[in-house]
Amino acid sequence: MRWSEGRRSDNVIDARGRGMPIVGGGIGMAVLALVVYLMGGDPTVVLNSGGGGQPVPTDAGAPANSGAPGAPAQDQMSQFVSVVLADTEDTWNAVFKQKFGRDYEEPQLVLFSGAVQSACGLAQSAMGPFYCPNDHRVYIDLSFYRELKDRFGAPGDFAQAYVIAHEVGHHVQNLLGISDKVQAAQQRSDRAGANALSVRLELQADCYAGVWAKNATGTDDAQGDPIFTSITQEDIDQALEAAAAVGDDTIQKRSGGPVDESSFTHGTAAQRQQWFGRGFQAGSGKSCDTFGNAL
């Protein structure tokens, strides 16, 4: 597998080392937010509550790929992230022009360490990677990849790329107005119905990640060389293993509690693998309708 020669994105903001330390309830807030997530709730409610933590600068005006020590030009992992993001840009620029007749608005990706302020509230590494629709940015603390490997048992470059592609999938949903429709439908639903819609939203993002993977491996008619060469079934299995590792049932089992389907927000391991596979096999967003008549 070779990725080092791939194009780097201009949309990476390196905020590592710029933030101020979290004081007061910061650590407790992260733990509480993680518990809320595992129970099927919305962790951003906790993050937005502040809790006395000290604000962290957003560096909103910072140029991409610039800033503190450890910028993308200086370490391999952030370069990898930049290459993957660039390839998602190429994929979705082509899809939006061909399928929707419009330009694709590329998201920014913020690298941070510990915590950073987003337009959706205070982002902390304990929450894992996420997409904020309010500022069209993906946020990731690269320490998550150690968690993905050591705690969740999902190592490998392709597994790491899947994580980014999934979050970019949420950006695609935001641009297409799907996220707004889901939010409106959730407001009309009870908790079980809202959770079911959340599952459908996450599974669609997994499917969109599969669409990207189809293009990244060069298994369709996309122009240009794929960033991942010499792809094997083992590489695809890495992405499938990552999808399974963050399934609701897998996470609940790992936490030691019972599996409660009514609290699912992201889908089971099997569902996440299934929808990633659909996107990969078809290579088109048309295969990613997880909602049917639900909206």
DSSP string, 176-236: TTHHHHHHHHHHTS-HHHHHHHHHHHHHHHHHHHHHHHHHHTT-SS-SS--SS-S--HHHH
Cβ-based burial of 237 (10 A; exposed 0-12, middle 13-18, buried ≥19): middle
Closest CA relative to residue 122, chosen from 59, 44, 52, 60? 44
Please give the residue that has the higher pLDDT: either 151 or 65. 151
Please give the residue that has the higher pLDDT: either 256 or 165. 165
Structure token digits, residue 2: 């070779």
Signed CA dihedral, 272, 273, 277, 278: sign only: negative
Residue 172 pLDDT grade (very low, low, confident, very high; cuts 50, 70, 90): very high
Which pLDDT score, from 0 to 100, does residue 270 have? 82
Task: Say if residue 231's pLDDT is above 70.
Answer: no
Which pLDDT score, from 0 to 100, does residue 62 have? 44
Summarize the chain as % helix, strand, coil (round to 5). 50, 10, 40
pTM of the predicted model as reported, rounded to 2 decimal places? 0.75
Signed CA dihedral, 59, 162, 35, 37: sign only: positive
Q: At 122, is the secondary structure helix, strand, or coil? A: strand
Q: What is the mean pLDDT of residues 78-106?
A: 93
